[in-house]
Structures are given as structure tokens and as C-alpha cells.
Structure 1
Amino acid sequence: MTYNIAMFSDFFFPQPGGIESHIYQLSTKLIDRGHKVIIVTHAYKGRTGVRYLTNGLKVYHVPFLVIYRESTMPTVFSFFPIFRNIIIREQIDIVHGHASLSSFCHEAILHARTMGLRTVFTDHSLFGFADAASILTNKLLKFTLSDVDHVICVSHTCKENTVLRASLDPLMVSVIPNAVVAENFRPLSNNPRDGDQIPRGMLAPPPLLGPDDTITIVVISRLFYNKGTDLLIAAIPRILASHPNVRFIIAGSGPKAIDLEQMLERKVLQDRVELLGPVRHEEVRDIMVRGHIYLHPALTEAFGTVIVEAASCGLYVVTTRVGGIPEVLPQHMTTFAKPEEDDLVQATGKAIAALRSNRVRTDRFHDQVRMMYSWTDVARRTERVYDGISGAINEDEFYGYYPGEGWTATRARVRSFALIDRLKRYYGCGIWAGKLFCFCVVIDFLIYVFLELWFPRSNIDIARSWPRKPPAVDVIENNGMSRPRSSGSQRSRMSGRF
């Protein structure tokens, strides 16, 4: 089956980031598989209205007020008229929201369920349970996910976190990791544009590092507290003091940039630390290939796409053992540290020693990453989620059937659009919150009835769709031989969980 899909999130290009890249890459690969995909986000500076990107991807930039870190001000109901107009114009079947902190995402899922559309939510982040901001965010997530059809998480750690925060049935949550376009993150010796004519698979190993050769450590990150910038600021002077032939390249921007600059001035390290400031995503590869080690001192991370990009570029990765990071790369590509200053300095020293002794074959990383991660595979698995919530796959097979659970429990995972059933689900969200959520749903339903009566669908022009591509044929590689993957009913007999 093919679907008309709308991706909703506050976070999209031209802002760089993992969520933004995920939405774009997933959308283009779904288009390659024969689906129609549009993206709805807020207006960015210089970008308002409707834009077309590569592969016929249409983007709606809605002019809403941005209040913090590219997140729009929550309005709950004022977005509904625009939302309904876009949904009807584009004849959308499935609404797919991204990111827990996106107001557009939460409001879109609420309005989509009111309009009788199937919904999917992808969580890209980890949150705690103790501080006030996390408590409020978790309550908002509980409100949204009480009536969502399916949830996707980018790692198993992220799934556990989301299930606990929103009190979800684990069988309604699938794990589909991020990916990278490996061809865009090739090391110097694996990229024809660098003047190297060595054929793929016959790469010359990188030159051996001597005891006096300079090792460059690369950091590309938003300079925020949760990205471990304070940890980085404390560790850099100690690393440079212990290793005279080491230098840093740091790219990124954020509120912690001033603290980083002040540290460099105080320690007089400007000649050994190069600050590049904000960079575009297409510039990331050219920065990474200048280094030998990628340092990622995050305090919390659901996946960490940037470390996959770094490994694909042939960098040895030093990262903190937090969140879903240990699931991302095999151990021979990484050195892990606790999110503490002493351990991070020690782990970086181990990585430097490993490179100087030439125990790590970073020239093989690119081909290994290329085999591990593929956006085509991510799109195929996401498509199966769409098939499951739309009824193209048997419910017992998609949601999972276990003896003793019974037919009723399995059917309960299929969300009804009836208002009374929706109110029952929201009412169980808390003594006071449940009543508030029910009130919001009723108001949303009344607004929908008003819009249907006073602004009938017949007055909304249907947008002409970009010509669809023929559905892609999945290919399974087996010992160098390729054969087409069966689709349709045969695809539904694939394993139930991801």
C-alpha cells in the first residue's frame, strides 16, 4: 500500500541537527518507495510559505511565534484551522510527529485524531523524572501518547525511557534507529574528489602515526549543557597538558560558547584549539576528515547520529557511556568513559595511545558503517509501522500475540476514533490532568465540527501531487548475490518486532 504522509515537527532545515536530518532522509526514502510525503514546520528566517526540496519533497513553513530553541509557542487550538486546511489539501492519511519538545508535533497528533487520521510519534530524546521541566514534559507526552496509534524510538534505551514516561504498552513501541548516508561521510582515502584513485575495497591503510605526529581531536556539537560542554571545557586543558602533540577543532554554537572562549583565553590555548562556530550540515564531513579522534562528551543522548558520521569518516570515537550511545557502534570503534572529567581525560588518553601504537584500523570503519546503517532500511521498517496501524498487516502479528493475553487485549491496542473511547483514554491520565485533557479534547472536537460546518471541505482546493515513483523493490544482499525481497502479503510475514 502507498500512503499520503505528513511529518510534523518544529525542528527542520535550515537548522542543522539529528532530528532535522532524520525527518529529511526518512521522507525522501519514503518518497522513493512510492509514498507521498509533506513536512510541516514553523517559518524560519527567510523561509515562509511552501518550499520544494530535492525529490519533490514539499515543506510548509507556518508563520508561528518561536519562543525557545526553535520551538513554537504552544497554542493548542489556534493551529487547527491551518492544520485542517493542509490535511485536506494534501489528502493526508497518516500524521507522523517528531520530538517530545515540539509543539507542532503534539498539536498535530491531537488534531489528527479528532479528524479520524492514523498517527505515529517518533521520540528522539531522553528525559528524566525528577526536575520540574521533565515532569511537565512527561505529562504533556502522556497526554499526546494516550491516543496515538504507534510510537517509534531511536534506541532501546529511548524505548524504555518513553514507555516509563508515558505509561505505554511496550508492544506499541518499536525501535528503529537513525542512519547516515555513508557516501556523504567518506574518509579522505575513500573519496574520489580528493584525488585518490584507489578502487573501493583496495584502500591503502592510513600512514602510521609516529610518537611526535600531531593528533587532531574533533568536536562538532551544539554547545549546550546536555551536550556535555561543561565537561569538555574542564577536560580540554588537562588533555592538552598531558599530550603536547594534540590539538582540537571545535564546531558548533550555543549559550556555552562564551564559557569555552573564556577558558581558552584564561589558559592561553588559542593556538591549539580552533573554534569554527556554527557550521552547515554539508560542511561536517570536511571538518571531520581533518581529525583522528571524535570526542562526544554528552550527558544524555538517545542515539547520537554524529558519532556514526564520525566513524564513517574514519575517526576513532571517544564518548560517554550514557543513554543509547552504547547501542550505536561496535566496541572496536569506540572508547567509552563515564560522564565525569577524570574518566573522560583518561579515555581520551587511551584513544591517543591506541592510535599512536596503530592498534586501531580506522581505514575499515567506513565500509563497516555503510553495512550497518541505511536510510532505505529505516524507511522500510517505518513503512511496516504504517502498514500495521492501517490494517495492511494482521493485528496479532504486528502488535504481538501471547497465549493468555486474549483477543480483547490485542484489539485494545487498535485505537478507536469514537469520542467516548478517546475520552476514556485521556481520563486515566490523572486525577486533575485527566479531566483537563478531556476538556481539551472536547473543545478540539467542537472546533472541528464548527470548521466542518462553516468552512466545508468543498471550498478547499486539492493540491496537485508530485508524480509518484514506482514502489521500490527491497533487495537482500547474501554473500555478494542480490535477490528481490517479496512485498505485499509476503512482507507481512516478516518478524513482528524490530
Structure 2
Amino acid sequence: MEHRICMVSDFFYPNMGGVEEHIFNLSQCLLLRGHKVIVLTHSYQDRVGVRYMTNGLKVYYLPIITFYNQCILPSIICSLPLIRYIFIRERITIVHGHSAFSALAHEAMMIGRLLGLKTVFTDHSLFGFADTSAIITNKFLELSLSDCNHCICVSHTGKENTVLRARVKHERVSVIPNAVDTTMFIPEPENRKKDKVTIVLVSRLVYRKGIDLLAQIIVDICHKYQDVEFLIGGDGPKRTLLEEVREKHHLQDRVTLLGIIEHSQVHNVLTRGHIFLNTSLTEAYCMAIVEAASCGLQVVSTRVGGIPEVLPPDLIYLTEPNISSLLCGLEKAMDDLHQGYVVSPYECHRRVRALYNWTNVSERTEKVYHAVTQEPAKDLGHQLQSFVPTGVLPFLLLISLVYLILQLLDWLVPRSEIDIARDFNKQVTDEPNIKRKRLKY
């Protein structure tokens, strides 16, 4: 069965992160399996309009201004005509939203449901239940997933978290972990310095990634060990803190801040290190530690969220999310490194390659698509009824308004007047036939 899938998220290339990489790699595998896949995201600086990536992956960079932390302002009404036009033009049958933080994903899923399309949502993060921001976010997520056909979580811990905070029935949630392209992340021990121990961190420099902990760890480790240096890739609001620490303690020659790095260069950064450090305060999966292990690095990580599910115990040093525990984990990793009590980089790569691959992930995701396609369509009444248990009855008025606007657009811009986009794969396969016909005549 061929599906026509629209991946939607505020987070995509040229932005870097686990969500962005997940969308790209999953889309590539689904394309190779014969499905039609496009990506919907907002514009990034001068990157506006339609772009094509590897294997003809079409990306729509919508001219929508970001509001906070790379997410658009959730206006719903303003972006509705454009999203509807794209769904009809590309003949989309499944809308697949990514990340609970993405307002664009939730908007597109809502519009898709009112257009009669199937919706799937992948949750990449964990949330709390007590603070104000978590309470508000969880309620919005509950509204968005009330009428979603199926949810995917990247870990069993993530599934429990999503079921509790969004009140989703557990039978509507599947666990499909992330994966890594092990052909790109291969060990190269010759790139490491012989007289230094290089600790690598590649992450968004934000609070929830534990950068405040990292700042103090850098100071303590560098003062205690003179043969240790830090290599940090990524950007974010907490970069200023790391720069201040580096200047204050005169560590310019031992702490390197690389800033934003292209995904094609992540492998080159990882292979320069001996130890990979992850200081996250919350994490549903953490693809970065899998990439690091695939490159043969020792991994030291906080024991939060779904991280204990990701790697075998002998490939990772798990610590508590505090400075003293992280320091103990780093010191234990460095001692094992000096004494040779570590798994060979090539053995690490072999084991990660056996555990995680995108072919398996795409096959499992494809089964979810098959299942939701078989579900019966819902009319407006049943859709409105699914929002009643949330208790936010005014939201029904918003859904009704969006439905009326869609009906108005069907009259102002009829579907028959929207040009249907030609599929990239079919265009490529048709061209040789056209050339042969011309040569024949």
C-alpha cells in the first residue's frame, strides 16, 4: 500500500537536533520503500519556498515568522489556507506531526483531520506535571491528541509519560525508538590526540540539556586534570554562560566552542573525542549518545527519562543529574580509558549497528500507517465529541470556526482549480521512457 505522507514540524534543517535528524532519515527510508513524502516547516532566514533534498525529498519552508525557540505563533487561522493548499496539491493522505513543542505540527494535524486525513504524532520529549509551563503544555497536547489516530513514542518511559500527561489510551500509542545511520558514524581512533583526553558534547545549549551543570563540570575537571580538554558543538542561549566560564578561568586553549555544526560534520567532531558527555535534565531517547557510541566513544550520561533503555550497561556510564555524580562518572570513564578497561571502538560500532537501524524503524512506522489507514473516517460531530472529555469546551468553537473557513475556501478556491504536483520519483522514472520514444522516432 502506497502512502502519501506529510512530515510536519517547526524543527528541520538547517536547524540541528535529534528531531530534525529523525524526520530526515525516516523520510529517506520511506521514500526508498515507495511512499510519497514531503516535509512542512517554517522558513529559516533566507530559506523560503520549496527546496529539494536527497532522493527528491520536497521541503516546504512556509513564510511564517517564528515566535519563540524556533516555533511559530499558534494562530491556526493565518496559516490555514496555505496548509490546505499544500495538502490538496500534494494529495496527502497522512499527516505526521513531530515534537510536542511544535505549534506548526499541531496546527497541521488539526487542519488535516478536518480535511478527512489520517494523523500520526511522534513525541520526542518528556514533560513534568507540576510547574506552570508543563501544566499548560500538557493541556494543549491533550487537546491536540484527542482526535489523533495514533501516537508514537521513542521509548517506553516516553510512552508512560505521554499516556499520563495527554490522557491518551495506551493502545493508541506505539514505541518505536530512534536509530542512527551507522554507515556515517564509524570509528576513527587515529583522529584522537595521544597526549590529551578529549571530552565531546554535541547538543543544543539550553537549560534542559543541563548546560548549567556542564559549566561547573568544565571548571572542576580542568583544574583537577591538566591533560583534559573539552570540545563543544551546538548553539543556544546558554552559550554565553560557557563563554563567560571560559574567559573567567582562562580556559581558552582547553575549551573549544564550535557553534552550530552541519550534520555532515558531526562525525568528524565525535571521532576527535575519547569520551562523550550528556548532561540532559530530561530526555525521552537521546540520539546523540547512540551516534557517539557508534563512533566508539565512551558515553557518560545522566540517568533521566528513557536514556537507560538506549545503550547496554557496558557501553554507558549512567549518573544522577547533579555535578558530583557527573564528576564521578567522568573520572571513572577516564580511569578505565587509561587502564584499557573499555570496549573496543570497533566492537561498540558493531553492537550499535546491530541494535539500531533506520530500515527497522521505517518498517515499524509503515505498519502504523497501514493501521490508521484502515480506521473509519469521522464526521465533524464525532470529531467535536472527542474533545469533550478534555473539559475545554470553548475549543469546540475554534474547531467549528476552522471547519467553516475550510468550507469557505472550498468555495473560493475549489479543489478542481488547484494544480496537482508531479511526484519526483515518477518524474525520474518517466524521463528515460520519453527519451527512448524520441530516439525511436
* TM-score between both structures, scaled by the size of structure 2: 0.94
SS of corresponding position for 2:390: coil
1:29 CA displacement: 0.4
Contact preservation (8 Å) 1:291, 1:315 = yes
Gaps of 5+ in 1: 195-205, 392-413, 471-498
Q: Does 1:243 align with 2:196?
A: no
For 2:357 and 2:322, the matched residues in 1 are separated by 33
5+ residue gaps in structure 2?
Answer: 429-441
Tell me how far apart the structure 1 counterparts of residues 101 and 189 of structure 2 sit (CA, whole Å): 40
1:47-446 counterparts in 2 under 5 A?
47-188=47-188, 213-363=195-345, 364-391=347-374, 414=375, 416-430=377-391, 433=392, 435-446=393-404
Question: Given that residues 31 and 469 in structure 1 are in contact (C-alpha distance below 8 angstroms), is that contact kept between their aligned partners in structure 2?
Answer: no
Distance in 2 (alpha carbons) for counterparts of 1:223 and 1:117: 37
Per the TM alignment, residue 46 of structure 1 is displaced from its structure 2 partner at its CA by 1.9
1:423 Cα deviation after fit: 1.4
- Could you tell me how far 1:241 is from its partner in structure 2? 2.6
**Change over 3 Å in CA distance of 1:377–1:468 after alignment to 2:** farther
Q: Alignment partner for residue 422 of structure 2, among 464, 476, 483?
A: 464
SS for the counterpart of 2:300 is strand
1:453 aligns with 2:435: no
Q: Is the 8 A contact 1:297 1:320 kept in 2?
A: yes
Query: Offset of 1:162 from its aligned partner?
Result: 0.8
The Cα shift of 1:468 comes to 5.0
SS at match of 1:182: coil
Letter in 2 for 1:257: R
Q: Percent identity?
A: 48
Q: What's the counterpart of residue 398 of structure 1?
A: none
For residue 467 of structure 1, give the secondary structure of its aligned residue in structure 2. helix
CA–CA distance in 2 between the matches of 1:422 and 1:286? Answer: 49
Cα shift readout 1:420-471 (whole Å, capped 9, x = no counterpart): 11111111111xx1x112111111111111111222111101111112599x
Once structures 1 and 2 are overlaid, which stretch shifts more, 115-124 or 232-241? 232-241
Structure 2 residue 38 is matched with structure 1 residue 38: yes
Point out the more displaced range, 46-55 or 379-388. Answer: 46-55
| CA-CA distance at 1:415 after TM superposition | 6.6
Structure 1: which 4+ aligned runs deviate by more than 4 Å?
Answer: none
Q: CA deviation at 1:131?
A: 1.5
Partner of 1:428: helix, strand, or coil?
Answer: helix
Q: Structure 2: which amino acid aligns with 1:97?
A: G
Q: Distance in 2 between matches of 1:305 and 1:367?
A: 17
**More displaced 10-residue stretch of structure 1: 241-250 or 66-75:** 241-250
Secondary structure of 2:425 counterpart: coil
Whole-Å separation in 2 of the counterparts to 1:416 and 1:423? 14
Q: TM-score, normalised by structure 1?
A: 0.83
Contact 1:34 1:469 in 2 (8 A): no
Task: Indicate the structure with greater helix content.
Answer: 2
Is 2:186–2:294's contact at 8 Å kept on the other side of the alignment?
yes
- Which range moves more in the overlay, 170-179 or 70-79? 70-79
Aligned to 1:492: none
Count the aligned residue pairs. Answer: 427
